[in-house]
Structure 1
């Protein structure tokens, strides 16, 4: 038997995802600020690219949270 679709806590879960992803983004930025002269250009590029994906994810989570709020 399948579970019913319970969306009661979707907004809270989405906010958790936003907070967690933003914390990772900030941590990576802080790492770059502190160690930019110690890492290779490829490593720096990889971290910057990952942060761009994190920003896109955050935007997506925010849009999804808005959609949930309208329901």
Structure 2
């Protein structure tokens, strides 16, 4: 019986900062688009959008903290 062994791929972190920055930008764009939608939304929909945007703001803060960590790690050679 032949066994297939897969080697685990190395953790490639070289583009993490850029990917996280893209995620921040996309999230900001989603907030802006949803704010435009709120002009036509019912009260209930508006509350849902506001709650979702609050979660998006929290995500942006977490992304930015992770960007700082990744940038620092990059400068230190990912030790």
- In the superposition, the TM-score normalised over structure 1's length comes to 0.89
Q: Alpha carbon RMSD of aligned pairs, Å?
A: 0.9
Q: Deviations over 1:11-48 (max 9, x none)?
A: 0100110010000001111221x31xxx3221110000
Unaligned runs of 5+ in 2: 1-6, 74-79
Larger radius of gyration: 2
Aligned length: 67
Of structures 1 and 2, the one with the larger relative CO (CA 8 A, separation 6+) is: 1
Higher-helix-fraction structure: 1
Runs of 4+ in 1 over 3 A off after TM superposition: none
- In the superposition, the TM-score normalised over structure 2's length comes to 0.80
Q: Distance in 1 between matches of 2:42 and 2:36?
A: 16
